[in-house]
């Protein structure tokens, strides 16, 4: 039998946590043959609720689930984990300044970075979901210098999947036949959902470009982009709560593809540490198209970027540069 993999979920008593932990325990994250031990962290005011989640995990009798650690102690939570999914954070409350929210999250991610660095398993892979996701991941990277930067990422797969969903609805094709959209940049409303390289596999087996099939540049360059950018707000308006099941599902997609690999000819979007590819400033956590193999991601190189796209790539990079400066100003 395979050794269980230890998976940390922070903010596990929250909405996304409640949707995510059963997916992990069912094998959605790492496949149906991989046993897991769940480590769940939350803060003391949520301790009772976290314990309730643990009770439900026991009651669900998941065959793959070999143990549950539910704790408010960050060291206990991080000890020995192979995968860390960071969902916990400080939400923006009404009337709060951006800087105040940033400051709270910077201190959370600084502390959790140190705990992961000291106590996680070697080669632990980290996914930051909590907003501001890219900048939280950057802070985590800065304060966990012994964790390789290739092991630290943030979630833009939800935006990627939303883009696939919009194209599938528009063309009335199965979402599984649409591929190679790209989310560039920040997980925020400046992100750039790019369909210039996306394709659809037709029932004939032929692959055609999305741009050709949609044949409506005004929609692709306008409403499509804003719909994907604003989808989170639309869900909040409809549900009075933010996206949770789709965020949890995207987090599983992100880790699964990272660990088990992307299918041949398919890329996905991940927020990763920029090496300067596509003239994105190095040293930002920025969402790029990536392929994964043997547990490592690499940025897809050589895609053509037209003038329209260039502006959008730069705009979201500028926002991330500002966020980075704001985060650093909170440190001093
Ligand atoms: P939630 O408020 O329901 O849950 C957050 C949980 O984190 C709460 O249980 C809270 O007690 C806990 N928490 C707060 N500080 C913590 C700390 N220092 N350590 C451990 N746990 C802590 O929020 P929800 O809806 O589950 O969302 C979680 C985060 O994910 C938010 O920041 C949200 O903005 C973000 N998000 C990101 C998405 C993405 O695509 N990157 C998509 C959707 C949400």
Q: What is the pTM of this model?
A: 0.98
Q: Residue 208: what pLDDT?
A: 98
Residue closest by Cα to atom 27 of ligand 1: 16
CA of 168 to the centre of ligand 1 (A): 29
Cα separation, 267 vs 276, in Å, equals 19
Cα separation, 236 vs 241, in Å, equals 5
- Across the range 3-9, mean pLDDT stands at 98
CA of 172 to the centre of ligand 1 (A): 34
Ligand 1 binding pocket (C-beta < 6 A) is 10-11, 13-17, 41-43, 46, 87-91, 108, 129-131, 133, 155, 158, 187, 242-244, 247
User: What tokens were used for 174?
Assistant: 């199965």
Cα separation, 12 vs 39, in Å, equals 9
Query: 58: closest CA among 48, 69, 47?
Result: 69
CA-only gyration radius of the chain, Å: 19
Q: Residue 98: what pLDDT?
A: 82
- Span 41-55, pLDDT tens digits: 999 999 999 999 999
- Span 171-190, pLDDT tens digits: 999 999 999 999 999 999 99
Q: Is 13 annotated as a binding residue?
A: yes
What ipTM, to 2 d.p.? Answer: 0.99
- Cite the active site residues: 187
- Strand runs (DSSP E) across 129-224, as ranges? 152-154, 178-179, 182-184, 192-194, 199-201, 207-209
Q: What angle do CA 18, 149, 130 make, to 5 degrees?
A: 25
Residue closest by Cα to atom 38 of ligand 1: 129
Residue closest by Cα to atom 25 of ligand 1: 15
Cα separation, 225 vs 14, in Å, equals 29
Q: Where are the alpha helices (DSSP H) in 61-186?
A: 74-78, 98-119, 133-142, 157-171
User: What tokens were used for 209?
Assistant: 């470009």
Task: Please state, for a pLDDT cut of 90, what percent of the chain lies above it.
Answer: 95
- Span 197-223, pLDDT tens digits: 999 999 999 999 999 999 999 999 999
Residue of 23, 49, 71, 88 to mutate, ligand 1, most atoms within 8 A of C-beta:
88
Are the beta carbons of 101 and 94 closer than 8 angstroms?
no
Residue closest by Cα to atom 6 of ligand 1: 11
Q: Residue 190: what pLDDT?
A: 96
In 10 A of CB 172, how many CB atoms? 6
Are the beta carbons of 228 and 251 closer than 8 angstroms?
no
Query: 277: closest CA among 144, 142, 184, 181?
Result: 184
Identify the residue whose tokens are 């080669």: 123
* Mean pLDDT computed over every residue of the chain: 97
Distances (CA, A) of 204 to 74, 169, 180, 198: 53, 19, 19, 18
Residue 1 has pLDDT above 80, yes or no: no
């Amino acid at each position: 039998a395979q050794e269980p993999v230890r998976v940390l979920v922070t903010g596990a008593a929250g909405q996304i946590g409640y949707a995510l932990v059963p997916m992990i325990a069912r094998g959605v994250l790492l496949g149906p043959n991989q046993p897991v031990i769940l480590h769940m962290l939350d803060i003391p005011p949520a301790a009772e609720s976290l314990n309730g989640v643990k009770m439900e995990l026991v009651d669900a009798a998941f065959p793959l689930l070999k143990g549950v650690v539910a704790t408010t102690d960050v060291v206990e939570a991080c000890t020995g984990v192979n995968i860390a999914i960071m969902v916990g954070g400080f939400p923006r409350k009404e009337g709060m300044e951006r800087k105040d929210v940033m400051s709270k999250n910077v201190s959370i991610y600084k502390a959790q970075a140190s705990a992961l660095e000291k106590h996680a398993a070697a080669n632990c892979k980290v996914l930051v979901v909590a907003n501001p996701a890219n900048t939280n991941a950057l802070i985590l990277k800065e304060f966990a210098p012994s964790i390789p930067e290739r092991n630290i990422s943030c979630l833009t797969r939800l935006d990627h999947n939303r883009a696939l969903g919009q194209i599938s609805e528009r063309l009335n094709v199965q979402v599984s036949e649409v591929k190679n959209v790209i989310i560039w940049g920040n997980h925020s409303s400046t992100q750039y959902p790019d369909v210039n390289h996306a394709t659809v596999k037709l029932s004939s087996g032929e692959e055609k470009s999305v741009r050709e099939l949609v044949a409506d540049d005004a929609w692709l360059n306008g409403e499509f982009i804003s719909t994907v950018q604003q989808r989170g707000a639309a869900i909040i308006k409809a549900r009075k709560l933010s996206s949770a099941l789709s965020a949890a599902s995207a987090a599983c997609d992100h880790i699964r593809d990272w660990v088990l690999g992307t299918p041949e000819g398919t890329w996905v979007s991940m927020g990763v540490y920029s090496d300067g590819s596509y003239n994105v400033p190095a040293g930002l956590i920025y969402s790029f198209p990536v392929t994964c193999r043997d547990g490592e991601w690499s940025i897809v190189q050589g895609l053509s970027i037209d003038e329209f796209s260039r502006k959008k790539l730069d705009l979201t990079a500028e926002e991330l540069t500002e966020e980075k400066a704001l985060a650093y100003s909170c440190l001093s």
